[in-house]
Amino acid sequence: MPNHSPGNRLHYPRTLKLSATENGGTSGGPENPKAALEYTRKSAEAGYPTGQFNLYVYYSNGAIIEKNETEALVWLKKAAEQNFFAALFRLAELNRDGLIDGSSPAVAEELFSRCMNLAGSDSHLQNAAALQYAWLLSRSSENIARLTRAAVVPQRCYEDEGGAGDIAKACADISIGLVGRIRDLIRAHKGTAEEIVVAEFHVRYMFENDGKPVLSRSAGLDAYSRELGKAVVAKARLSPQLYQEYLMKTLNPELSKTLALGTVGVAARRVKVGRNEKCICGSGRKSKLCCGR
- Between 254 and 193, where is the model more confident? 193
- Between 9 and 119, where is the model more confident? 119
Q: How many residues are there in the chain?
A: 293
Of 125-139, 166-180, 208-222, give the lowest mean pLDDT range: 208-222
- In this predicted structure, what is the pLDDT of residue 282? 60
171 closest CA partner among 113, 203, 215, 204: 215
Whole-number Å distance between alpha carbons of 48 and 81:
11
Q: Does the pLDDT of residue 174 top 90, yes or no? A: yes
Average pLDDT, integer, range 22-50: 74
Whole-number Å distance between alpha carbons of 132 and 150:
10
Helix (H/G/I), strand (E/B), else coil: 79: helix
Mean pLDDT, the chain, as a whole number? 76
- Taking the model in full, what pTM does it have? 0.70
- Give the list of residues 6+ apart from residue 210 with CB closer than 8 angstroms, or none: 176
Helix (H/G/I), strand (E/B), else coil: 278: strand
- In this predicted structure, what is the pLDDT of residue 257? 46
Q: Does the pLDDT of residue 84 top 90, yes or no? A: yes
Whole-number Å distance between alpha carbons of 25 and 34:
12
Whole-number Å distance between alpha carbons of 186 and 10:
59
Number of other CB atoms surrounding residue 165 within 10 Å = 12
Query: pLDDT category, 256, cuts 50, 70, 90?
Result: very low
Residues 143-152 have pLDDT tens digits of 999 999 899 8
Helix (H/G/I), strand (E/B), else coil: 281: coil
Q: Does the pLDDT of residue 81 top 90, yes or no? A: yes
Share of the chain above pLDDT 70, in %: 66
- In this predicted structure, what is the pLDDT of residue 194? 75
Of 28-37, 51-60, 251-260, give the lowest mean pLDDT range: 251-260
- Give the list of residues 6+ apart from residue 172 with CB closer than 8 angstroms, or none: 154, 158, 212, 213
- In this predicted structure, what is the pLDDT of residue 1? 39
State the chain's maximal CA–CA distance in angstroms. 78
- In this predicted structure, what is the pLDDT of residue 15? 52
Average pLDDT, integer, range 3-9: 32
